[in-house]
Each structure stands twice: as C-alpha cells, then as structure tokens.
Amino acid sequence: MPEASDKTKSAGKQPAIKDFTICEATAQMLEKARRDGVETAFDRAANMKPCPIGADSACCKNCSMGPCRLNAKDPYGKVGVCGATIDTIMARNFARMVASGAAAHTDHGMSMLDLFREVVHGKIKEYRIKDTRKLELVAREVGIETEGRSVEDIANDLYAELELTYTQVEGEIPFAKRVPKKTLETWRKLGIVPRGAMREIMELMHRTHIGVDQHYENITKQCSRTALADGWGGSMVATEISDILFGTPTPVAVDVNMGVLKQDQVNIIVHGHEPNLFESMLISVNTPTLIEAAKAAGAKGLNLVGMCCSGAEMMSRHGIPHAGNFMSTEAVLITGAVDAMCVDVQCIKQGLAKVAECYQTPLITTNPRCHIEGAKHIEFREHDPQATTDEIVLQAITRFKNRQMPVEIPKITNAGIHGFSHEYINYMLGGTFRGSYTPLNDNIVNGRIRGVAGVVGCTNPRVKHDWVHVELVKELIRNDVLVLQTGCSQISLAKAGMLTPEAAHLAGPGLREVCETVGMPPVLGMGSCVDNSRILIAAAEMVRVGGLGDSIADLPLAGAAPEWMSEKAISIGHYFVASGVYTVFGVTFPIVEGTKFHKLLFEGLESMGIGKWGFEPDPYEMARLMIAHIDKKRKALGIDRARERVLVDMADRREIAAA
C-alpha cells in the first residue's frame, strides 16, 4: 500500500471525521482510510486553505500583464493593470464559470443527440427509440407534424430541429416554445433569448477576453443568454433525448448507499454523467456468457451500481442501486469491494486514481474527453458499445478473482422512491385521463402546499457532507414546501430516508395531507443534474395551468444548491435565476458583497422581471429566506390568506381517473 502523503502525515492533529460528513458509510470508510494511510479530498480540503482573493473572485488572470489582485476589503481602491474594475473582473470570472458549466451540459446533450441521430439512421443497433409517445410529444411541442407519420420520419425531423439548439446562428432555440409567454416576452425585452449554444458560449468567452466587454451589466446579459442556452437548450435536449431513447422514468423503489455493494459478487461502479455507457453496461452485466464467467471466478453474479449523476439517471429509469454522491466516490473505493470503477465525464476527481491504486481497483476512463493519469483508458465507441463494456466486465471479474485485501462494506442501505419525471407528476396528480398540474396548483392556492422548492447540486468537502442538504430540506417540508430534487442532493436526502412516502410525517400538516392522499414522498427525486430541466418544464406547466400568475417569476417557487462546488452548478443557478427563480447558494459565493455586480445579481435582476441570486451557508437561514420569498410571491398573487377549501379532493380525482 502506498505511503500516506506528506500532507496527511504533517497535518498533526487531524480533524474529527464526524465533522466531515453525516453519511455513516462515508465516515466508516474515512476511518478505514486513516487506518490504511490513504488520503482523500476531505483531508486535502482540511489541509488546504482556499486562496482568500480567489474566493472573493477579486483577481484576474485573463492576460499576462497580471495576474492582478484587487482588495475585497476596499474593492474600489484599486483597478487591474488594464484598468479593469472589481465589477468587470468579478463579472468576467463569473461569466467564465457560466460558460464552462453550460459547455459541460450542452456537450453532454450533444452527445445524446449524436447518438439519437445514429440510432435513427440505423447506424447504431444496440439502442433504439424506447419511448415513441414522448418522441411524438416533444416533436409536437417544437412544431413538428406527427399525425399519420412514421416514427422514423418524426425522429429525423426532431433531430434536425434540436440540432439548432447548438448550431443556430440566428433565431430562438427550439425549446423557447415551451417557455411561458410572459417569461419569453421578458427575455425578448432584455435581449437574452438564446440562439445556438455554440454561439452563446463562444460570444461569452470572447467578451471576457482582455479589452472586450468591460461593463458588468452587459457581461451579465450574455451570462443569462448563455445559461438559458443550457437550461432550456443543452440540458433539456440531454434529458428529453435520453428519455426518448432509454425510457421516461416512473417511480421505482431503489436502494441507495454503500450497502448495495456485495461481498460475494463482482461489483462494477459506473460514475459520471452520460447514460449511454451505463446503458451498455446494463446489457453487458446481463449477458449470459459474462455471468457464467463471473460464476466460474467464484462470484455469485455481477452487481452493477451507479454513482453521481449517471447513477441518478439509471436509478430513476431502471432501478439500478446507487452507492453515493460526489463526496463518496473515493470512500466507496476504500471498501476494497469495487472490482471496477468506470467513468465517463464530469465530477470525476483525479484523486480517484490514487485511491483506486491503493485498493487495486481498476479505474477505467472511457470517454475521449476524459483521460486520467494513472487510470486505464478503454475507449467507449458508440458504434460498438458492448465491446467496451464487456471488456470492463472481464477486467472486473479478473480483479474479483484476485481480490487480495480484506473487503469491508458498510452495511447501510436506504430504500426510497425515485423517478418522478414531470410527466409522471402530471399523471400522479391527475390520473391517466385527467393528467394535469391542476391539483398541485389548487393545493398551492388553497395553502395546503405553501410553495415549491428545487433543492439540487453537489456535495463539497468545505462543508459537512450531506448535512446542509438534509437540514434545509427538512426545514422546508416542515413548512409545507414541496421539494423537488436532482443530482447529488437527491442522494443526500435518499440516504436520510426522506424519499419515502413515510417521510410525510415530517412534513407540515398541509403537505402531509397531500402526500398521504396521493401516496407520494414530500421530496420528489427527478434524476440527474441535466434533469433540472424537468423542474423548468414543471414550472412552465404550473404557469400554463393557471391560477399562479403569468410567468415563472410569479410562482411561489425557490431554488437552492446548498453544497455546490462545480461550474455547472453556477450555470444551473444562473439559468434558474434568468428563468425567474430566486436561487440561493450555500458554501461560499465568488463575489464581493457591496459591489455593483453583487447588487445586480442579488437585487437588480429581480426588478427586471426575472429571478435573483441569494447566498446563505446556514441551512435554517437558507430555508427562512426561501420561505420568505415564497410568501412574498403568495402575497403578490393574493393567495396569502387562502383558507382550506376543498375543490375536488385528490382521492376523488384518483377515483375518477381509475374509473
């Protein structure tokens, strides 16, 4: 076993593991890591102080006259060598985070679209269009005629139309047609309706070059346009095409946490973001010859497990067990039970390579965009997907056969219900024939449900892992706020047992009543981070159904990413803000308070008719801010004093539907 790093050794008194995480399984593995002398991101975070100037985004390294460091305590006391002010510097840094995050989601969406094209053209035979109903629905929404036409023709047209999401030089992206009319009008007035994502990201990068856009308001405008090209563009295409190809999720019971690993089976983890690798792996682990090979090696079978976002997608679509979120990816290797971890793109810590080496687990990169020094690369080729995944399974079997070190799997699993697509919420509330968001809106109007919150995003070792997510969500549901979730946040709450109908007893009386009537959890898991687009579609649907205003900005709705860390999270946050949602981030915020740019993001944007940013690391205070915003919107809608009033009872609706 390699030596512990110098940093760990020289750290002296180590911080208590109970301060790192509330996830019992992760904590057990961190204890084991200490015994084994293995370092993780938790240790590195504890030992590495963040650069204070960078944390405030008060430095610029966009040219070689710098890097220029400004003083956050006296933000207007100094400018960069070129004369750039603190507002220009922070806005440019922020813009580059949006550009990078949006690029990640849109590139992922484009990979899905590439796959779709090849499937439609018959060049890839391993996958096929699974959800033709959704294909027709999406096609109609972007203006494609479906009546009497073949699936192939519709799919061809849909491909051509959705390609515009990326390539269109002029004009509005296709899914702008889904945006509520008044929201879209506001965007048009502000000049932020996106063209193709490639154009928006390119222009944003251009504008942040030295000596181009040097007005924070104008930079922010392009930030909004680019972020919207992600939310209503690249991310939405990723979600919709994945549903069409692999199936639209419906609720499914799934086990989450490290106890899903099996001592006597070949454990294969897929960690990353694009579902195609995982879908192919699902075929491979069900291939009789490979199952036989596993048995011949002494295993009871092949155990496929997900992590992070592709894990969240596969959990929602196929009920594949999930081992944990971003801050558990090193910890899971410490079990010694992982026989292969294969990864594609995004949120793959480079530190995994070292930990995998310590436990003799093959770490396998598969995507040409993501190689890691020290990891093995087996390229995933879409035209022959199983060649890669079969090969990975064989390597995992070999590792199982040669397992040399003791395996220690935390015996913890948490059952929960996942897979609440916006389509399913529609059905759940209204039934097959009366599928509608009307009951949701009715219950918001009558006050049983106070409002809706999207709680999403990463986990981050700068705060106690999972704790901020869990406390925030508990506080929200206690106050009758229905919570929608995606990504790593959803896994935090699943591990806390909150994605079960039984968790309704922790909700306030109004929300509890609705949950108990419908039989749903107070916390609805909608999938991966690109599936935040489902929250946008649900919000648009709430506006369309009526009774809660004319634009997304009118809804009693708030968003949060309490433990965010990635640039993707910033892009998501900004597309929610630009769509009209008050969005609060925890941990830290890369902007100096009291500056003009800060004022614009935290106040000014709202006065333009869209949403605004908020920042608050404390979960209880964060909940208070979100609830205050929801109440403000209720007041503006004139429903703040709404009394209990039974319209059509939820049970009645379900009976009508079932009849």
Phi, psi for residue 339 in degrees, rounded to 5: -90, -20
597 binds ligand NFS (CB under 6 A): no
Pairing outcome for strands 266-271 and 252-256: unpaired
Judged by beta carbon, residue 347 or residue 540, the one nearer ligand NFS is 347
Judged by beta carbon, residue 100 or residue 398, the one nearer ligand NFS is 100
At closest approach, how far in Å is the CB of 567 from ligand NFS?
9
Judged by beta carbon, residue 336 or residue 487, the one nearer ligand NFS is 487
Segment contacting ligand NFS by CB under 6 A, of 149-157, 169-177, 279-287, 565-573: 565-573
At closest approach, how far in Å is the CB of 529 from ligand NFS?
3
308 binds ligand NFS (CB under 6 A): yes
Scan residues 422-461 and list those touching ligand NFS (CB under 6 A). 457-458
Judged by beta carbon, residue 349 or residue 653, the one nearer ligand NFS is 349
SS3 73: coil
The one among 27, 33, 41, 347 contacting ligand NFS by CB under 6 A: 347
542 touches 440 (CB < 8 A): yes
Task: List Cβ neighbours of 600 (8 Å cut-off, separation of 6 or more).
Answer: 216, 217, 220
Judged by beta carbon, residue 285 or residue 529, the one nearer ligand NFS is 529
**Selection from 584, 316, 557, 576 nearest residue 437 by Cα:** 557
At closest approach, how far in Å is the CB of 207 from ligand NFS?
25
Segment contacting ligand NFS by CB under 6 A, of 92-100, 171-179, 506-514, 561-569: 561-569
Distance CA(477)–CA(452), nearest Å, equals 10
The one among 260, 529, 548, 605 contacting ligand NFS by CB under 6 A: 529
562 binds ligand NFS (CB under 6 A): no
Judged by beta carbon, residue 471 or residue 531, the one nearer ligand NFS is 531
Scan residues 251-290 and list those touching ligand NFS (CB under 6 A). 273
Task: List Cβ neighbours of 244 (8 Å cut-off, separation of 6 or more).
Answer: 116, 129, 130, 131, 134, 135, 138
Task: List Cβ neighbours of 284 (8 Å cut-off, separation of 6 or more).
Answer: 290, 386, 389, 390, 392, 393
Helices (H) and strands (E) in the chain, counts: 28, 15
Hey, what's the torsion of the CAs at 399, 400, 404, 410, to 10 degrees? 120
At closest approach, how far in Å is the CB of 458 from ligand NFS?
3
With CB under 6 A as the rule, give the number of residues binding ligand NFS: 15
Q: Read off the amino acid at residue 448.
A: R
Judged by beta carbon, residue 309 or residue 409, the one nearer ligand NFS is 309
SS (H, E, C) 275-296: HHHHHHHHHHHCCHHHHHHHHH
Judged by beta carbon, residue 208 or residue 566, the one nearer ligand NFS is 566
SS3 94: helix
DSSP state of 404: -
566 binds ligand NFS (CB under 6 A): yes
At closest approach, how far in Å is the CB of 572 from ligand NFS?
8
Segment contacting ligand NFS by CB under 6 A, of 27-35, 377-385, 548-556, 563-571: 563-571
At closest approach, how far in Å is the CB of 368 from ligand NFS?
19
Segment contacting ligand NFS by CB under 6 A, of 92-100, 283-291, 562-570, 584-592: 562-570
At closest approach, how far in Å is the CB of 460 from ligand NFS?
8
Scan residues 359-388 and list those touching ligand NFS (CB under 6 A). none
Among positive and negative, which fits the CA dihedral 153, 112, 247, 427?
negative
Segment contacting ligand NFS by CB under 6 A, of 138-146, 365-373, 566-574, 581-589: 566-574
**Selection from 518, 539, 454 nearest residue 490 by Cα:** 454
* Buried b / exposed e along 614-628 (16+ C-beta atoms within 10 A): bbbbebeebbebbbe
309 binds ligand NFS (CB under 6 A): yes
534 binds ligand NFS (CB under 6 A): no
At closest approach, how far in Å is the CB of 282 from ligand NFS?
19
568 binds ligand NFS (CB under 6 A): yes
Side-chain half-sphere exposure of 154, counting CA atoms within 13 A: 23
Length of the chain: 659
Segment contacting ligand NFS by CB under 6 A, of 67-75, 225-233, 354-362, 564-572: 564-572
Pairing outcome for strands 414-418 and 252-256: antiparallel
Judged by beta carbon, residue 436 or residue 579, the one nearer ligand NFS is 579
Show the site string, 37-76: x = touches ligand NFS by CB under 6 A, - = not.
Answer: ----------------------------------------
DSSP state of 322: B
Pairing outcome for strands 451-455 and 252-256: unpaired
600 touches 564 (CB < 8 A): no
Judged by beta carbon, residue 180 or residue 457, the one nearer ligand NFS is 457
326 binds ligand NFS (CB under 6 A): yes
Judged by beta carbon, residue 57 or residue 235, the one nearer ligand NFS is 235
217 touches 94 (CB < 8 A): no
Written as one string, the DSSP assignment of 332-358 is HHHTS-EEEEEE-SSS--THHHHHHHH
Judged by beta carbon, residue 87 or residue 344, the one nearer ligand NFS is 344
Task: List Cβ neighbours of 402 (8 Å cut-off, separation of 6 or more).
Answer: 360
Show the site string, 485-514: x = touches ligand NFS by CB under 6 A, - = not.
Answer: --xx--------------------------
340 binds ligand NFS (CB under 6 A): no
In the complex, which residues of this chain contact ligand NFS (CB under 6 A)?
273, 308-309, 325-326, 346-347, 457-458, 487-488, 529, 566, 568-569
